[in-house]
Structure formats: structure tokens, C-alpha cells
Structure 1
């Protein structure tokens, strides 16, 4: 397997995305800490800062900015390593970066000045300043430019290697960016065509149900856009770190194809309690939602088969000898592994969230927030951290020293403890009916509110521990980027086993799989969208609806 070395121009491009990522981690983490402290009832925000301003900042900066910049920077590095990148493609990579950064600054400016306290979902009829929506549009456009660069990279490689199987990681990146582009078309249309003209005052009303539906057409595949880079590391990088080989190239490609097909036509399971959508179509999309269980279980099987096969090849013959001898003292493995474990209860919670009847118990409660903090803030982020421990020193020409590795292990444990405390209390409070987003510390009296606040105090404890972990992670990043000893850190890409079966060519038939994906989307959304547009009430949300929180 041919792997390309990075030039200094490449490394600077990839690192630029990492700088934004870790600045976002610090800013968003601070907002999260303040949020939990306020909800505990033990702290009041200074300078008349609005609670919903920090809530919006936390969600947008961590859920959209941090993830998107890390993913695109990481995926650029994967493509550069496996299929190469030209100077012209590097130039367009910089265009992508600057367009996204300008959009991020514009959106953040509006949020921090109180002109866009609309949360990261920016539901109408909440209305933000037009510059906020322009900023969001620029972030999406910048990401599309990055996607086009990635598609071009694979095309050029395939043209030079006719008849050859594309590198697995390049295939995975392409799947993720196809999913992102198809999904983000919905939110781009909603922002540019529906919401922005309303925010500017060019139209008097906005179709609330249509904008929400378009958001969740995008919002659920957004979760998989976050998750698939973690899957890339689990499938094709972790095996190299533990001294093994790729378990099955075919299984990995098939799981990504299934995730592409079943990640987009499922947005209605976020709208199960909303009127205006036919229950039959809600049920159909719930069924499609559960189809993602298949590639998820395939991934779990593949990863643990890799662990066991590697251990047994090293001579560990007892039932769980292979497990005991995994490299637990290597933070590049430990952090992603804990992320994998967290995905078990996270996935179970996802089944509850997507279930037609059971969802009614937890819908719009802080249970859902706890679920996101298990899946995204634990599974995904810990895997991203595990990637950063080798990616950053590889790009900067430095080494992950034993001391920094030990600090990374401490950081991982701190993060795990803090998230366990916070997420568990969120789940319990949600089962007791505690709503998400609301600041109930400002309410007085009532046994139920007192019970909720007791759990919110637990969340503040967990949030404080997490912020310590954030500060430590930022410190480690600074060390790896600027101060660690000069040297070489491996870019670990697992090789396929020599005896592996040949990957069927049909798995790289892009016309087939993208065509099936589009067919499923049209099936799941065409009739419901026609109904929403046809039967929506005449404009009932006036332009003079207040900016920010209603």
C-alpha cells in the first residue's frame, strides 16, 4: 500500500484546521461550564450575560465548529496520506478553510452580542440577525469546497490507477463527504431561501414546520458526519496501533455504504411529537432509522474481531488473554477504546430516542442532552482526542513523549469521570421530566423543581471536572504543536491481511449506492414535503417576531 509523505505546505493546511478545533474546544467548554454552574442555582452570570447566549455558544461552537473543522482537517490528511494532494488542491483547501473561518467569525459575533440566541438548531420562529445566517451559509459553502477537493483527489488517483481498488480510508472519506453534501443541501436551502429573506424583512412570514423538517433532514446525518471519522480510526488506524492488520476491507466498505443509505431519510424520528406530519411517514422513517443498527453491529464485530485476532497472533491463547494484553498504557488506543465502550449505552439510548412510543417519555427532556453527551461528547470526542495524540506531532515534526502520553491517559480518565457524572444525572433528570434547554435554577418552590436542581448540581460537578479535562487537553495540544521534542511520530494506517478475500468491485459502484440513497430520500420525503407545503397555515409568524429567544 502506497502512502504519501506530507510536505510542509500540506502540514500547514491540515494544522490550520486543528488550531481552530482546539480554540473552539476551550471556548465551547468554558460556555458549557458556565451553563452547568448557572443551572445548579449556585452561580449567576456577570455583566447581565443571557443564559441562552452561552447555551447557543456552547452548542454551535462545539457541535458545529469544532467538529466540522476537525473532521475536514483530519480527512484532508487522510486523503493526502493515501491518494496524495496537488498544489492546486492545497490552494482550494485554503479557500475552504478561510471561507469556513469567516463564516464562523460572523456567526460567533452575532451570538456573543446577543443577536442570535437561537441555539444550535436555530428553530424558527426564533429569529437571529441576518449576519448569523450568512455566517452559517459560508461555513456550509466552505465545507462543500473541501468536499469537491476530496472528490477530485480520489478521481485523480483512480484515473492514474485504473482497475485498482481505492485506498480504504479515501473511500471512507468520500462516503462521509457525499453524505454531508447531500444532507447539507436541506439546511442550506432552509437558511438561504426561507430563513434569511425573512430575517432581512424581504418576506413577512416563514414556514416553521418546513424549516424544522429541512433542519432534521440535515440534523440526523450530521450525527453520522461526526461519527464516521471515528469509525475510520476504529477500522483502519487502531489495528495498526495495536500491532494488527485490517480485519476485513469488504466489511468496512459495506458498513460505510449502509450508513450512507440509512443516515439521511430518517429525520422525522426527531419530529415524532410534531403535528403536520402524517404518522405513517413518521413510522416509515422510524423503521429506516433502525436499519443503522446493522452497520453499527458490523462495526462492533469487526473491531473486536481485530482485537482478538491480533492478540491470538501474538500468542495469547487464553479466553481473554488477548483483551488483557491490549495496549492500555498507550493513550492513542485508550481514548478511542473508552469512546467505543461509551457507544454501547449511547446506542441503547438512541434506540429509545428513535422508538415511536418510548420517545414520548424522553422527548425534549434533558435525557436527550445526556444522550448527546454520551455519543458525541464521549464516543466521538475521545476518539478525536486519540487521533490528535499522533496526528498533531506527525504534522508538526514532534514526538508524543512518555510524559505527554501519561498526561493524555490522565486527561482521558478525567474526561470519562466527568462525563459519567454529568451524563448519568442528565439521563435520570430526563426520566423525571426535567426539560432540556431551560434554566430551572431561576424558578422557586416546588418539590419537582428542587429535585431537578439537585441533579443539576451533579451536572455542575461533572461539568467542572470536564473543564479540567479540557484545559489539560488544550495544554497537551500546545505541547504537541510547539514544544515537544523534535522527532518523528508515525501516521498509523493498518495494512490489509495478505490472505484477505478480494473486495467485490460492486462496493465501489458509486452510481449504484448514491442512486439508492437518493431513491430512499425521495421515497421518505417527497409526499410528506408536498403535504407540509400544501397544508401549512397561511403565514402566522410575522417578521417582527423578536430576535433571539422568544
Structure 2
């Protein structure tokens, strides 16, 4: 797109974002290869070479795609978004961002090394009593610490904008970036605590045992908001970027901000719904957190309402009539729109599956089955990842000074369709197999001779077919990214940022009351977790009576 009015982000800021994308898409390729191997092994048609076990491959897949791809892409996108909407990063903020990047990268390399050496086949949840080499836990801790450093750099940049623009609400995209990083920093306190005070001393041999229930609870304190750390940047694109691509105003700036604040409130104090079948947690507190979990449906429905209202406005502007006439005239031939839109559509069944997972009675049916894996592949691997691909189609050429050509757009449409077909086969078969009781995290050989395993073989073959198609989609994506980085024609590509209509009411300043929002979040966390954690510590089988003795 050639346009003299295009606002470009600073080249130095762009380099910082690109560095994160290099790591993210490298993780996509390697993690995707590990995922392909998993599906082939589960089909019973492939045996891994000697020296490589299924759980090693499973750990590579989960860590690289669930943690590395997402964290690096998100932080790169957030830095670029803040540079675009809150002004060029200062030298100090940019330097801090680079420090965060290198700490994360060193941590990733350290973690990957011990996984590949076969000393950390503990999956991305790293549940005790599975034990990894200390380097695995230290590496993951460095990834978290590096992300904190980047987060504080973003906070400093936003504070500088606020100081220069008193009594104004921050730019919507920057506001959303700050909410995302506040959620991340608060939630990662749980996984940092269990790594520093439990796993690392245990793996180093300083203590003989740890409190397994406590470690799992602290992980899931982090594990559920991790899902919203994945989702909120996708929502940023849905709320702010897609309207600009459609050349339509944002439906409501205030609604978008309110939905992000509600996501902050209700995404963290709900981790116990992942532990509904865990002994040692009082059922009344499980019930409380299930109720809080269902509260997150409210901002999700707000998001759906806002997006479909935006689509209808676009359609009416194009002359569409009837209840769903607007659906037909949407720009399906624009990959920047198509990839996130397909992600949104997949999120409808993904959200329904999430309601099932969080429901006490229904969870009894699917708990620890491959249904849950299928759910993750709808939420993260489809809704989020396809949206990230859509972001890459304009953000990378914007930074590199290249064009997203018609040929690359056509290839991206093929990639989106390929990904959707592959995920349909994989996720559908996982859900159906899970309803029949097939376990998650299990290699085919572990239940090949069970009486019911023969009923699952067709599903496992479907997963292998889906995984193979998805890997083709990964190869197509890497080809597109390499072109956007190095080979596409030089030119200018817009960083699309939507704006609110002049007809709507001005966004209230109270949305900038950060002390209030964070205080409410902390109070909800204290309410949801203080008594359960106190009970766990007081009644721990290892006799620990206080936080200082958790690792005795």
C-alpha cells in the first residue's frame, strides 16, 4: 500500500520488535515439527529414533509453542503497538527492552538445551513428581524475568506519555498493551514462586521433597491467565486493527477498555477450576473459582458483540441488506482480515468447550482426556495463532519497508485455509476421542493393547492427517515470513490503527484509574486464594507451616 500519510514506527523500535519475531517464528517451525512427530507416533505408524522419547518431543512442542512462540510474539507486537500509538520509545526504554529480550533468549536457549538432552521431559506444565534438570527451571525463570523487564519498560513508556498528556485517556492500543502486561506480571508471580522456592532447590538436591499440591496450585494460578495473555493481543487486533482494515470506525472505545479491565479482574483468580478433581482443595473454594471463571464470559460476549457490530456496519456501508447480508460482502480475499476472522469463528466452539472444562459435572467427563488438548488447539493454535499470522502480514512489512504483495496475499489465503482444514481434522478427532476416555499426554504405545484402544485408532489417524496438513501450513507461513523479511518488493505498508467515530461519546477519564483496577484485581486474588493456600500450607503432608518452610 502506497500512501504518503502512512505513519511509520521508528526503525530502532522496529528492530526490537523484529528480534522477538525471529525467535517466535523459529519456535513455530521447531515446535511444529515436534507436534507432527507426536501425531505420527500416536497413530502407531511411526517409531521415534533411538535416544528420542515421546515425552521429550511432547515437551518441546508444548514449551516452544505454548510459551516461547507466544511470549516473544506478544512482547514484540506490544512494543511495536506502543511505539506506533504512544510515540517513539526513548533510548532508555528501548535499551531496557533489549535487555529483556536477551534475558528471555538466554533462558529459552538454556531450557531448550536440557529438553533436547533428554533431561527435562516434564511437559510444559512440569508437574511434580516429574523432575527436570535445574537448568530447565532456571531457563524458564529467566524467560519470565526477561518478560518482566520488558513489561516495566512498557510501563515507563506509557507513564511518559501520560505525563506529556495529562487528563487524557491513553491511546487504545497502548492501554490494551499495558493491561496485557499487568495481567502477565501479576500471574507469573505464581510460577516464579514455585520455581524459585520449590523446583530449583528440589532439582539441585537441597531438599528431598516438595509440596506437590502447592506447586500445582501455584502453576495454575499462572496457567489460566496464561490463556488470556495469549488471547488479549489477539483481541487487540480484533478491536483496533480489523476496523481499520475494514475502513470502519471502532464500535466503542469505552466498551473495548471495559472488556479488557474485566479480563484483568476475572482471568487470574480462577486457576482452581483446573484442579476440580485434585484432592486437598476444599470444594467450596473450587465452587467460588468456577463462579469467577464464568464471569469472564461477560467481556467475551462484549467482544463478540463489538466485532459483529463492526462487521455489520461495514456490510451496510457496502450496501448489504437482510439479517446476515453483511457476512457475504466482508473482504474474504484479504488475508489480513481472513486469518483473524477464521480465528474468531473457531473461537465460538472453543469458548463452548471452555465452559464445559470449567463446569464441575461436565469436567468429570473430559478431565485429563485428549478433549482438553483439542480445546487448546482451538483456542491457542487456531484463534490466537491465526490472528498472530494476520498481524504478521502487515506488521513485518511495515517494519522492513516491504510490500505484502498480491502473490503473498494469495499464498496467505491458501495458508489460512490449509491451517483451518488441518485443525478441523486434528481438533475434532481429539474432542471425539476424549469423549470416549482417551487420555491426554500419552503415547500410542502406552495404551495400544487396551480393550478400547482399537476404537480410538481412526481418531489417531485423523490426528496424524491433521498434523501433517498443519505442518504444511507452517511451511507455507515460514515462506511468507521469509519473503516479508527479506525478499518482497520494497515499499510502504500501513500499520492499521482504528479510530472511534466522532459521533460517539468521549471516553471517560476514569478508565485511567490504574490504582483502582489493580487494587480490585489484588483483592479478588486474595479472596480466591488466601484461604486455600493457607489450608494447603497448614495441612501439608511434609509438615510445612509457613512460606519460609515450603520446601522442607
When normalised by structure 2's length, the TM-score is 0.96
Measure how far apart 1:442 and its partner are. 4.8
Distance 1:443 1:523 in 2: 42
Equivalent of 1:460 in 459, 464, 474: 464
Q: 1:267-346, aligned counterparts within 5 Å?
A: 267-346=271-350
In structure 2, do the counterparts of structure 1 residues 135 and 248 end up closer, same or farther at CA, with 3 Å as the change threshold?
Answer: same
1:504 corresponds to 2:508: yes
Secondary structure of 1:151's counterpart equals helix
Where structure 2 has 5 or more consecutive residues not aligned to the other structure, the ranges are 545-552
Q: Partner residue of 2:47?
A: 44
What is the aligned partner in structure 2 of residue 67 from structure 1? 70
* In 2: Cα distance, 1:166 partner to 1:444 partner: 57
Deviation at 1:3, TM superposition (A): 9.2
Aligned to 1:543: none
| CA displacement at 1:357 relative to structure 2 | 1.1
Give the corresponding residue for 2:139.
135
Q: CA deviation at 1:47?
A: 3.0
1:15 aligns with 2:51: no
Match of 1:125 in 2: 129
1:289–1:354 CA contact under 8 A, matched in 2: yes
Could you tell me which residue of structure 1 aligns to residue 118 of structure 2? 114
Per-residue CA deviation, residues 100-132 of structure 1 (Å, 9 max, x unaligned), is 000000000000100000000001111100011
Q: Give the Cα separation in 2 of the matches to 1:539 and 1:117.
A: 29
Flag structure 1 segments of 5+ consecutive residues without an equivalent.
541-550
Query: How has the CA–CA distance of structure 1 residues 366 and 444 changed in structure 2, closer, same or farther, with 3 Å as cutoff?
Result: closer
For residues 26 and 336 of structure 1, the distance between their equivalents in structure 2, rounded to whole angstroms, comes to 20
Does the residue aligned with 2:361 lie in a helix, a strand or coil? Answer: coil
Matching residue within 524, 529, 548 for 1:525: 529
Give how far 1:5 is off: 2.9
- d(CA) in 1 for partners of 2:211, 2:512: 40
Q: What is aligned with 2:518?
A: 514
Residue 242 of structure 1: which of 240, 246, 254 is its match? 246
Cα offset, 1:446, TM superposition: 3.9
- Distance in 2 (CA, whole Å) between partners of 1:39 and 1:441 is 8
Candidates 196, 215, 219, aligned match of 1:211: 215
1:272–1:3 Cα change, 3 Å = farther
Task: Select which of 255, 263, 267 maps to 2:267.
Answer: 263
What is the aligned residue count? 539
- SS of residue in 2 equivalent to 1:47: coil
* Structure 2 residue 81 is the aligned partner of structure 1 residue 78: yes
Kept in 2: contact 1:41–1:442 (CA 8 A): no
After superposition, the Cα gap between the structure-2 partners of 1:388 and 1:237, relative to the gap in structure 1 and judged at 3 Å, is same
Residues 3 and 81, structure 1, Cα contact 8 Å, conserved in 2? no
* Deviation at residue 8 of structure 1 after TM alignment: 2.1
- Match of 2:382? 378
CA distance in 2 between partners of 1:319 and 1:270 (Å) = 39
Q: Deviations over 1:512-534 (max 9, x none)?
A: 11111100000000000000001
Secondary structure of 2:50 counterpart: helix
Q: 1:206-226 CA distances to partner (integer Å, 9 max, x unpaired)?
A: 110000000000000000000
Q: Does 1:395 align with 2:399?
A: yes
Shift of 1:450: 1.1
Q: More displaced, 103-112 or 446-455?
A: 446-455
For residues 481 and 152 of structure 1, the distance between their equivalents in structure 2, rounded to whole angstroms, comes to 30
**Contact 1:4 / 1:83 at 8 angstroms: preserved in 2?**
no
1-side partners of 2:153 and 2:375: how far apart? 34
Q: Is the 8 A contact 1:418 1:466 kept in 2?
A: yes
Instruction: Report the CA distance between 1:46 and its aligned residue.
Output: 1.2
What do the CA deviations read for 1:35-88 (whole angstroms, capped 9, x no partner)? 000000000001331110000000000000000000000000000101121112
Question: Does the 8 A contact of 2:6 with 2:494 survive in 1?
Answer: no
Alpha-carbon separation, structure 2, partners of 1:158 and 1:435: 51
Shift of 1:309: 1.3
Residue number in structure 2 paired with 1:53: 56
- Contact kept, 8 Å, 2:169 with 2:508, in 1: the verdict is no
Write out aligned runs for 1:346-365 (5 A). Answer: 346-365=350-369
Distance across 2 between alignment mates of 1:347 and 1:443 = 30
Scaled by the length of structure 1, what TM-score is found? 0.96
Matched residue, 2:175: 171
Contact residue 205 and residue 539 of structure 1 kept, 8 A: no
1:482 aligns with 2:486: yes
TM-fit CA distance, 1:444: 4.1
Describe the superposition over 1:278-319 as per-residue Cα deviations: whole angstroms up to 9, x where unpaired.
000000000000000000000000000011112223433443
Cα deviation for residue 373 of structure 1 reads 0.2
Counterpart-to-counterpart distance in 1, 2:401 and 2:165: 30
In 1, the alpha carbon distance for the partners of 2:449 and 2:326 equals: 55
Whole-angstrom distance in 2 between the partners of 1:307 and 1:507: 26
Alpha-carbon distance in 2 for matches of 1:71, 1:94: 15
Which of 8, 31, 40 matches 1:5? Answer: 8
User: Is residue 111–residue 140 contact of structure 2 (8 Å, CA) maintained in 1?
Assistant: yes
Distance in 1, matches of 2:325 and 2:508, equals: 34
In structure 2, the CA distance between the partners of 1:273 and 1:87, relative to structure 1 (3 Å rule), is same
Deviates more, 1:293-302 or 1:450-459: 450-459
CA contact (8 A) 1:411 1:469 kept: yes
CA contact (8 A) 1:441 1:453 kept: no
C-alpha distance in structure 2 between counterparts of 1:422 and 1:269, whole Å: 25
Q: Aligned Cα RMSD in Å?
A: 1.3
Match status 1:225 vs 2:229: yes
